[in-house]
Amino acid sequence: MRFIVVTGISGAGKSQTAKYLEDLGFFCVDNLPPSLIPKFAEVCFQSKGKMDKIALVIDIRGGSLLNDFFPGLSALKDAGFSYEIMFLEASNEVLIKRFKESRRSHPLAPDGRIVKGIELERDILQEIKEKANYIIDTSELTPRQLREEILNIVVEGKDAEGLVINVISFGFKYGIPTDCDLVFDVRFIPNPFYISSMKRLTGKHEAVKEYVMKCPETGLFIQKLDEMLEFLIPNYVKEGKSHLVIGIGCTGGKHRSVVIADSIYRSLVEKSHRVVIEHRDIDKDNRGAGK
């Protein structure tokens, strides 16, 4: 069982990091009281492999409960579980800008100057930072770059260098992702949206998956796309490309593109590529517009 504790300075990107870890198959819990760490680990262990990758976000929001941080981890170790600490930080200037843009107050300075809260938080978390396995400074990182950093850390048995592949499902009605290198239009596949029982479902539902995958066009398309990527990827690597974004689009980004993107993602993972998946528009237009 892999156990990662995500902590660090408020505003440094812990919530975004948890989302990326979820994309990588981690079961994530936010703001768990540190004293409950050993009990939670035991619950995960009893799941018999169903929860074998765990990420806990623990930070200053717990207030005095943070005093249980190291005792909780010690109890975890005594119970036979190993753990890693991932610490996120950023410069004061960047943190202040982020708080002002979000119009949020710092948890340690709800009525005062943001910088005072940041400095106090740094003092409180210094010991945790010193014992962290990984320290990520997000000051100059874009969300995509942060995702790559997380991927480099948590993907075991794979070279931290090389090509990171992002597979993104999207809806053409919301626009093509601007950072796509390759875009594939799957609107030629029959649309589940026009089946009343599937109209409000998504490509994550079994009924939609079965409908899309049983179409002869789907299997042939996935086969040809898989062959194309296996040709392209080594050549991209040879030319020094470090990041490849593959967009799979349908009308609304909820049905066909989600199923196809998931299939491509699984295929690439099975071939030991470093892959992250994102369903950009799956939660948009829940009223059931064309998909």
Provide DSSP, 48-90.
TTTT-EEEEE--GGGGGGGGGHHHHHHHHHHTT---EEEEEE-
- The CATH classification of domain 2-154, taken from the options 3.40.50.1700, 3.20.20.150, 3.40.50.300, 1.10.10.10: 3.40.50.300
pTM of the model: 0.54
Which residues 6+ apart lie within 8 Å of 196 measured at CB?
A: none
Eight-class DSSP state of 8? E
What is the chain's pLDDT, residue by residue, as a tens digit (291 residues)? 788 999 999 999 999 999 999 888 889 999 888 888 888 888 887 876 677 889 999 888 877 667 888 888 888 888 888 889 999 998 888 899 888 888 777 888 777 788 888 998 999 899 888 888 888 888 878 888 888 788 878 875 444 445 778 899 999 999 998 889 999 999 999 999 988 899 889 999 999 999 999 999 999 999 999 999 999 999 988 877 777 889 999 999 999 999 999 999 999 989 888 788 889 999 886 544 444
Tell me what pLDDT residue 159 has. Answer: 46
**CA–CA separation, 278 and 262 (whole Å):** 9
Which residues 6+ apart lie within 8 Å of 209 measured at CB?
A: 203, 259
Handedness of CA 88, 31, 133, 268 (dihedral sign): negative
Residue that the structure tokens 């990520």 belong to: 136
DSSP run (H or E) holding 92:
helix 92-102
Tell me what pLDDT residue 157 has. Answer: 43
Domain with CATH 3.40.50.300 in the chain: 2-154
**CA–CA separation, 176 and 169 (whole Å):** 10
Radius of gyration for the chain, computed over Cα atoms and rounded to the nearest angstrom: 21
